[in-house]
Structure 1
């Protein structure tokens, strides 16, 4: 399982000890030179987390070995996604799965979230390739699908 406890503790520390975190809503990558081919090309993440009182917070955190983080700010919670407190496949696992598919070799966008629809049984990694293909990878199961333009 991916280190969600670390993420929740990090968010709680930044927002104050009185904020109880419910879970992650989304995680969107900032990619070096706008296009990446490996996990090393991820510079950091824009996080959207939800507290147990229903308030959502947005902040940026650099991907180690880079350092830096912004102060979380309250934001309107988005429609159509739900919070979650665990997943099994890290972003580097998702990139490895992406490379085993015949769907491109360079990604231009990457995000993790759980769509609020009955058919979605887990959070998903979404990857957009430089060829315009869309890859969806189950963040627990690792099942992957590619939609080519």
Structure 2
């Protein structure tokens, strides 16, 4: 996984409409300091939880991993009328978000993961949490240069 300091990067706008995922725009940025790639946390054999993207090469090796601030179509905590909070599922027909990744010549796909394990979920949940909800092929030439 890449080092630190300014370098060429890609700003990728991802759109999800219902179950259809696409790269809407891919912009090359000449120099940008990106947050470092994040490893997946140790889960002790439990499923992963959250949302993240992985930039991968043709063999599937992870070149960069970045968390998503909100899970597309994930739940959220809301304040209850009588006090306290509870979790509700936010159903949205469409989500748009941006991902910043290094502009790496080896990169082929952007994988999107969204995992919210269910209570009592074990072996199947672990496999499901490591299965991308979308595999998006990168464009050979970005839309524009920034």
Q: TM-score band, normalised by the shorter chain?
A: under 0.3
Name the structure with the higher helix share: 1
Greater relative contact order (CA < 8 Å, ≥ 6 in sequence): 2
Name the structure with the higher strand share: 2
Give the alignment's TM-score, normalised by structure 2: 0.27
Rg larger in 1 or in 2? 2
